[in-house]
Amino acid sequence: MRRPVVIFLGGAALLVAFVLGGALDPSADRLPGVDSGNLYTWEVYTRSALGDGVLPFWNPYHFSGTPHLADPQTTVFYPPALLLKWLPVPAFFGWMIALHLLIAGAGTLFAARVIGIGWIAAAAAAIAVMLGGSVPGWIHNGHLLLLYSVAWVPWALGLAVVSVRSGRILPDGRLVAVLVLNFLSGYLQGTLYLAAAVALYFVFSAVWRDRSVSSPAWRPLAQLALLAGLCAAATAFQLLPTATLVAEAGRSSGLSYKDAVEGGWQLRDLATLFFPFYGIADAPPHRYLSDRLAYVGWILTAFAPFALFSGDRRRIATFLVLLAGLACALALGDAVGLFRLHHALFPGLRVPGRILFLATCALALLGALGIEAFITMVRARQWRLMAAPAAAIALVLAAASYGVMGSPTSPAPGWPWLPIALGGAVVAVAAVAVTSPRLAVSIALLAVVVDLTSLTANAVASVPIESAADIRSEIGPPGSGRTVSLCENRISARELFLNGEPTLDGPPGLYLRDYAEWAYLAKTGDIPPGDGLYRRVGSERESPARTDLLNLANVTRVVSCPVESGHSATGGSDFAIQPSGSAWPRAIWICGVDEVSRRQAIARLIQGRYDSKGNLLPRHSIKVRWAPGVDAAQRTALAERHHLEDGVVDDGVTWRYVLGDPSVEAVLAIMRDPAVEDTAGVDRSTGVIAPSDEVQRAVPVLAGSDERERQLLIGTAPCAAPADVVVETVDRPDGHVAVRVTAPSDGYLFFSEPFYPDRRAYIDGARVGAVKADLAFTAVAVPAGEHHVELRVTPTSFYLGSLISGATGAGYAVFALIGRRRRPR
Q: What is the pLDDT of residues 659-675, one digit of tens each?
A: 877 777 888 888 888 88
Q: For residues 422 and 542, give the distance between their C-alpha atoms in angstroms, rounded to a whole number.
A: 51
What is the three-class DSSP state of 719? Answer: coil
String of b and e for 96-121 (b: at least 16 CB within 10 Å)?
Answer: bbbbbbbbbbbbbbbbbbbbebbbbb
Q: Would you say 451 and 418 are in contact if contact means Cβ atoms under 8 Å apart?
A: yes
Q: Are strands 737-743 and 724-729 parallel, antiparallel or unpaired?
A: antiparallel
Q: Looking at the domain assignment, is residue 765 inside a domain? A: yes
Number of domains in the chain: 4
* 447-458 tens-digit pLDDT: 899 989 988 988
Q: What does the pLDDT read at residue 820?
A: 64
Q: What does the pLDDT read at residue 1?
A: 59
Q: For residues 55 and 67, give the distance between their C-alpha atoms in angstroms, rounded to a whole number.
A: 12
* 475-484 tens-digit pLDDT: 888 888 999 9
Residue at a domain's end among 584, 601, 631: 584
How would residue 690 be classed by pLDDT, with cut points 50, 70 and 90?
low
Nearest to 357 by CA among 98, 198, 509, 149: 149
Q: What does the pLDDT read at residue 566?
A: 41
Q: Looking at the domain assignment, is residue 68 inside a domain? A: no
* 229-272 tens-digit pLDDT: 999 999 999 999 999 999 999 888 788 888 889 888 988 888 88
* Residue 594, phi then psi, degrees to nearest 5: -120, 140
Q: Looking at the domain assignment, is residue 222 inside a domain? A: yes
Average pLDDT over every residue of 617-621: 81
Residues in contact with 667: Cβ distance below 8 Å, sequence separation at least 6, in sequence order: 622, 659, 682, 687, 688, 689
Q: What does the pLDDT read at residue 138?
A: 95
> What percent of the chain has pLDDT above 90?
49
> Do residues 234 and 307 both lie within one domain?
no
Q: Looking at the domain assignment, is residue 564 inside a domain? A: yes
How would residue 92 be classed by pLDDT, with cut points 50, 70 and 90?
very high
Q: What does the pLDDT read at residue 698?
A: 47
Give CA separation, 423 vs 291, 303, 314, in Å.
Answer: 26, 12, 26
> Do residues 146 and 174 both lie within one domain?
no
Q: For residues 818 and 536, give the distance between their C-alpha atoms in angstroms, rounded to a whole number.
A: 56
> Do residues 328 and 438 both lie within one domain?
yes
Q: For residues 785 and 615, give the distance between their C-alpha atoms in angstroms, rounded to a whole number.
A: 22
Q: For residues 659 and 45, give the distance between their C-alpha atoms in angstroms, rounded to a whole number.
A: 44
Least confident of 384-398, 576-590, 749-763: 384-398
Residue 115 has pLDDT above 90, yes or no: yes
Q: For residues 83 and 98, give the distance between their C-alpha atoms in angstroms, rounded to a whole number.
A: 13
Mean pLDDT computed over every residue of the chain: 87
> Do residues 341 and 294 both lie within one domain?
yes
Q: For residues 446 and 188, give the distance between their C-alpha atoms in angstroms, rounded to a whole number.
A: 35
What is the three-class DSSP state of 124? Answer: helix
Residue 310 has pLDDT above 70, yes or no: yes
Q: For residues 701 and 693, give the distance between their C-alpha atoms in angstroms, rounded to a whole number.
A: 14
Residue at a domain's end among 434, 456, 478: 456
Q: What does the pLDDT read at residue 708?
A: 66
Q: For residues 202 and 212, give the distance between their C-alpha atoms in angstroms, rounded to a whole number.
A: 15
Residues in contact with 818: Cβ distance below 8 Å, sequence separation at least 6, in sequence order: none
Q: Of 355-364, 383-392, 410-419, where does the model show the most confidence?
A: 355-364
Residue at a domain's end among 401, 434, 456: 456
> Do residues 170 and 314 both lie within one domain?
no
What is the three-class DSSP state of 793? Answer: strand
Q: Dmax of the chain from CA atoms? A: 99
Residue 571 has pLDDT above 70, yes or no: no
Q: What does the pLDDT read at residue 95?
A: 94
> Do residues 784 and 800 both lie within one domain?
no
> Do residues 354 and 396 both lie within one domain?
yes
What is the three-class DSSP state of 815? Answer: helix
The β-bridge partners of 739 are: 727, 789
Q: For residues 608 and 618, give the distance between their C-alpha atoms in angstroms, rounded to a whole number.
A: 4
Q: What share of the chain is helix, strand, coil (3-state, %, to 5)?
A: 50, 15, 35
Q: For residues 781 and 769, give the distance between their C-alpha atoms in angstroms, rounded to a whole number.
A: 8
Q: For residues 555 and 553, give the distance between their C-alpha atoms in angstroms, rounded to a whole number.
A: 6
Average pLDDT over every residue of 811-820: 73
> Do residues 522 and 390 both lie within one domain?
no
Least confident of 51-60, 404-413, 464-473: 404-413
Q: Which amino acid is at 744?
A: P
Least confident of 348-352, 369-373, 619-623: 619-623
The β-bridge partners of 503 are: 483
More confident residue, 582 or 365: 365
How would residue 569 be classed by pLDDT, with cut points 50, 70 and 90?
very low
How would residue 529 be classed by pLDDT, with cut points 50, 70 and 90?
confident
What is the three-class DSSP state of 140? Answer: helix
Provide the 8-state DSSP code for 335.
Answer: G
Q: What does the pLDDT read at residue 709?
A: 76
Q: Would you say 31 and 142 are in contact if contact means Cβ atoms under 8 Å apart?
A: yes
Q: What does the pLDDT read at residue 336?
A: 86
More confident residue, 679 or 601: 601
Q: Looking at the domain assignment, is residue 377 inside a domain? A: yes
Q: What does the pLDDT read at residue 359?
A: 96
Report the CATH number at residue 779: 2.60.40
Residue 702 has pLDDT above 60, yes or no: no
Q: Judging by beta carbons within 10 Å of its beta carbon (0-12, 13-18, 19+), is residue 632 exposed, middle or buried?
A: exposed
* Residue 265, phi then psi, degrees to nearest 5: -65, 150
Q: Looking at the domain assignment, is residue 671 inside a domain? A: no
Q: Are strands 747-751 and 587-590 parallel, antiparallel or unpaired?
A: antiparallel
Give CA separation, 612 vs 586, 615, 649, in Å.
Answer: 14, 7, 26
How would residue 779 be classed by pLDDT, with cut points 50, 70 and 90?
very high
> Do residues 303 and 354 both lie within one domain?
yes
Residue 699 has pLDDT above 50, yes or no: no
Residue 416 has pLDDT above 70, yes or no: no
Average pLDDT over every residue of 699-713: 63
* 163-205 tens-digit pLDDT: 999 888 889 999 999 999 999 999 999 999 999 999 999 999 9
String of b and e for 411-441 (b: at least 16 CB within 10 Å)?
Answer: bbbeeeebbeebbebbebbbebbeeebeebb
Nearest to 482 by CA among 498, 466, 505, 513: 505
Q: Looking at the domain assignment, is residue 413 inside a domain? A: yes
Residue 348 has pLDDT above 80, yes or no: yes
- The CA-CA-CA angle for residues 479, 482, 484, to 5°, reads 105
Residue 784: domain span: 710-794
Residue 706 has pLDDT above 70, yes or no: no
Q: What does the pLDDT read at residue 542?
A: 77
Q: Which amino acid is at 580?
A: S
Q: For residues 780 and 790, give the distance between their C-alpha atoms in angstroms, rounded to a whole number.
A: 9
Q: What does the pLDDT read at residue 433?
A: 76
Q: What does the pLDDT read at residue 312?
A: 81
> Do residues 381 and 431 both lie within one domain?
yes
Q: Are strands 766-768 and 770-773 parallel, antiparallel or unpaired?
A: unpaired
Q: What does the pLDDT read at residue 531?
A: 81
Residues in contact with 176: Cβ distance below 8 Å, sequence separation at least 6, in sequence order: 227, 230, 231, 234, 812
> Do residues 389 and 511 both lie within one domain?
no
Residue 106 has pLDDT above 90, yes or no: yes
Q: What does the pLDDT read at residue 822?
A: 60
> Do residues 719 and 761 both lie within one domain?
yes
Which secondary structure element, helix H or strand E, spans residue 414, and what is its range?
Answer: none
The β-bridge partners of 759 are: 793
Q: Are strands 555-560 and 482-485 parallel, antiparallel or unpaired?
A: parallel
Q: Looking at the domain assignment, is residue 189 inside a domain? A: yes
